[in-house]
Amino acid sequence: MSIVLSKEQLVYVQSFGKVILNACPGSGKTTTVAYKLDELIKNWELLFSKNSGILCLSFTNVAKNEIAEKFKEKNGFSLPYPHYILTIDSFVNSFITLPFAHKLKDIGKRYKIIDDISYLDKIFQSDWQLMKTYKSYLFSYKPSKIDYTINSGYSWDGHDKSDDLDFVKYAKEIKTRQINMGLLKTSDSAFLAYLILKKYPRIAKYIASKFPYLIIDEAQDTSEIQHSILELLYNQGLKNIDLVGDPYQCLYQWRDASPELFLQKFDDCENWKGLYLTENRRSTKKIIEVFSMLRRTTDKEIIPILDSEADLPLHVIKYDKTDYSEAISKYEKLCLDNNLSSNIILVRGNALKNSLLGKESDYFPWDKSSIAYKLIQSRIHLQSNEIKEAVKKIRRLIIELLIPGISFSDLKEKENELKNDKDSNSIIFKIVRDIPSFDLSLKEWTVKTQQYLKSELQLENMPDFKIRKKNVTKKGKITFDKTTLENSVNHYFKKAITENNFPITTIHQVKGMTFDSVFMILNDKNHKENITLNDFVLKEEMPTEKQRLIYVAISRPRNLLCIGVPKTMTDEKLKEFLNCEMLIL
């Protein structure tokens, strides 16, 4: 890979100190970070200690892997040791919390990170002692959603409830018991890491010397506690840090992500060097004009590299909320007429997606804790060549089948014991590979898979796949007999497909992706979970969570942007809310 960097990209690649890069959609952010890594490594021994390294962090595994792939594509080799590309959670867990949590509280065993937080609900909601005192709280405020706040208070589902004394008493009891068990969510791990670095500054000093250059990609998604961890590292000698992101693409506010903190640092000229990437290489000028309506007026204008009089304007397609087929057909014709091959229909949430596909596609008989769900998920990982993830999920499932009622701590120990066992991994791989085909009906697949597991694992009894209670109806049973598993799998684990093979998915699933065209369908009614035309109006300087979802969706296409609105919407109202060139169909 060899590209010519723009002036803005070169300024960032050659910058040092406390840098914050505000990168617009389509600006080549990931490629720019890969070039920055390359530039640093080439000059590393001239600038820093030989045994130290770069720490490049991102919010998700997908984003982390994309940076690693871009670096390898440019250089022909992976990022060498002692440099790391990790998720921010992995860094916090591996370098701070797990090695040093005993310094805060020694529980006589190693702390463990929970990857399935619903396990906490099972533990505490079945505890009779807790049930006597906190029965109403245990089910109204699930333990898995309780978190610490930066000031050692308590929140639930992202909402600070430190002023509610009864809730605080309940939350304190839950978190105390959880910590004593040695079980940590990633959010708990971040909070403990903050306390560790605050109480033991020499640990922060050690990390700052081990990693004298820190790059955080998708920095708009970092939480207040994660920002506080960074502050403690700065205070102990970390001189070079890059925060790279786009505050308008923050979709993880449910995990306490704080785009406002990103912008506060960007505006802090005394302590941070704020840089822009304003050149959009993805979308046409007419598309850029639409999503730019949701940006701050003080931000630099996005510069379109693609600008032609022949570019397609925004297309607004009206739909009948009882039958979306006509609107989808209009979109499909537009794509065919303009020879666009990479196209997608986007919605907010599964409810609207189900409406587009019809009620039948909403049928899925198992919840996420069921054996069937885990088997299907593992098989999909294998089909996607995510072999490590497929084997990991089946390994855990097999342990749970062979040792019913195993505790989480014992489960983790057993997993670690079997992780490097070649014979065990061979059996696990065979099981996931030979799961019965998805082209069977739900009923046939269930029977055959239950028999298959009983035989392969030599179980005494047939494993129970436990159909969801709400599906145990006369209509549900008929569907269970007739619906193929493949239809349900496509809907729940992959992108749902229209009759003409146009994928339908939710906005969260396409962050960071690019398409030739996008058709975003708005809801017809205002609701806290819905996105409507009203959400296009920027009432405050910083866009709301819904507006950031819109921003992500409509900044994905290269050539054609379509927006779906109900037929009851008048042309006058459309022009009032969408102040741009448009074609109404």
Whole-angstrom Cα distance, residue 518 to residue 331?
9
Residue 415 per-residue DSSP state: H
In order along its 585 residues, the chain shows pLDDT tens digits of: 567 899 999 999 999 999 999 999 999 999 999 999 999 999 999 999 989 999 999 988 888 999 999 999 999 999 999 999 999 999 999 999 999 999 999 999 899 998 888 889 989 998 899 999 999 999 999 999 999 999 999 999 888 999 999 999 999 999 999 999 999 999 999 999 999 999 999 999 999 999 999 999 999 988 889 999 999 999 999 999 999 999 999 876 555 667 888 989 999 999 999 999 999 999 999 999 999 999 988 889 999 998 888 899 999 999 988 788 899 999 999 999 999 999 999 988 766 766 666 544 456 778 777 888 888 888 877 776 777 778 888 888 889 888 988 877 788 788 888 888 888 888 888 888 888 888 888 888 989 999 999 998 889 889 988 776 555 444 445 466 666 777 677 666 655 555 556 788 889 888 889 999 999 999 888 887 789 999 988 877 788 889 999 999 999 999 999 999 999 999 999 988 898 899 999
Is 30 annotated to bind ligand?
A: yes
Buried-exposed string 260-297: b where 16+ CB fall within 10 A, e elsewhere? ebbbebbeeeeebbbbbbbbbbbbbbbbbbbbbbbbee
* Three-state secondary structure readout of 401-412: HHCCCCCHHHHH
pLDDT recorded at residue 48: 94
CA dist 277 and 560 (Å) reads 23
26 is in an annotated binding site: yes
How far apart are the C-alpha atoms of 188 and 194, rounded to whole Å? 10
pLDDT at 489: 73
Task: Tell how many helices (H) and how many strands (E) occur in the chain.
Answer: 25, 20
Burial 178-189 (b: 16+ CB within 10 A, else e): bbebbbbbbbbb
Structure token digits, residue 273 = 């060097």
Annotated binding-site residue? 28: yes
Three-state secondary structure call for residue 369: coil
Within 163-240, residue ranges assigned H as helices are 165-181, 186-199, 201-210, 224-235
pLDDT confidence of residue 248: 93
pTM as predicted:
0.82
Whole-number pLDDT of residue 579 = 83
The DSSP-derived string for 217-235 is TTGGG-BHHHHHHHHHHHH
Q: Is 580 annotated as a binding residue?
A: no
Q: What is the pLDDT of residue 420?
A: 80
Backbone φ and ψ for 146, nearest 5 degrees, come out as -85, 135
Structure-token pair, residue 155 = 């929140």
Q: Judge whether 23 is annotated as a binding position.
A: yes
What does the alpha-carbon distance between residue 284 and residue 416 come to, in Å, rounded to a whole number?
50
* Sequence-distant (≥ 6) Cβ neighbours of residue 477 within 8 angstroms: none
416 close to 392: Cβ distance less than 8 angstroms: no
539 marked as part of a ligand binding site: no
Pair of tokens at residue 489: 């799998």
Q: Is 245 annotated as a binding residue?
A: no
Sorted by sequence, the CB contacts under 8 Å of residue 470 that are 6+ apart come out as: none
Q: Is 29 annotated as a binding residue?
A: yes
The 8-class DSSP code of residue 257 comes to B
Type of residue found at 351: A
CA distance 114 to 184: 6
| pLDDT of res. 335 | 95
In contact, 256 and 225? CB cutoff 8 Å: yes
